[in-house]
Amino acid sequence: MEAQQGSPMSMLFIFVLFGLIFYFMIYRPQAKRNKAHKQLMAELAKGTEVLTSGGIIGKITKIGAESDYVVLALNDSTEITIKRDFIVSVLPKGSLKSL
């Protein structure tokens, strides 16, 4: 039996198909997540209640425009400093009081 060789057009079609699969399955969703996270970081302000990637819920008490760190108040007497990137979502106002 002879080994069949594919035509150059079929190889090009396969590469294009894999490129499209890569774009729609990997690159595009990641780009959307990055855009949403940048928007979230831009919305942060003093008094915003947030959830961190570690599961900590707190209210922002200090935030610098150029600083990569924010200070969260966990309760009336406890504050912690965390990196901005660890904030995963903004909570509705009053979330801390309802806990």
User: Residue 78 carries which DSSP code?
Assistant: -
Q: What is the pLDDT of residue 5?
A: 63
**Residue 83 tokens, joined:** 């990196």
CB-based burial of residue 4 (10 Å sphere; 0-12 exposed, 13-18 middle, 19+ buried)?
Answer: exposed
Q: Does residue 62 have a pLDDT over 80?
A: yes
Architecture of domain 45-95: Roll (2.30)
Q: What is the pLDDT of residue 4?
A: 58
In the chain, % of residues over pLDDT 70: 94
Q: What is the pLDDT of residue 53?
A: 94
Confidence of residue 87 (pLDDT cuts 50, 70, 90): very high
